[in-house]
Amino acid sequence: MIDEWTLERTKGVTGVQKGILKRAVETTREGGTVVYSTCTFAPEENEAVLDFVLGKRPCRLVPFDIPLAHSPGITEWQGESFDPTVRQAKRIYPHQNDTGGFFCARLEVTG
Distance in angstroms (rounded) separating the CA atoms of residues 109 and 93: 28
Query: Active site residue: 39, 62, 68, 69, which one?
Result: 39
Give the orientation angle of helix 7-26 with respect to helix 47-56, to 10 degrees: 40
Annotated catalytic, 39? yes
Residue 78 neighbours by CB distance under 10 Å: 6
Whole-Å CA distances, 5 to 38, 84, 91, 92: 16, 29, 21, 22
Looking at the chain, the number of H-run helices and the number of E-run strands are: 3, 7
Catalytic positions, written as ranges = 39
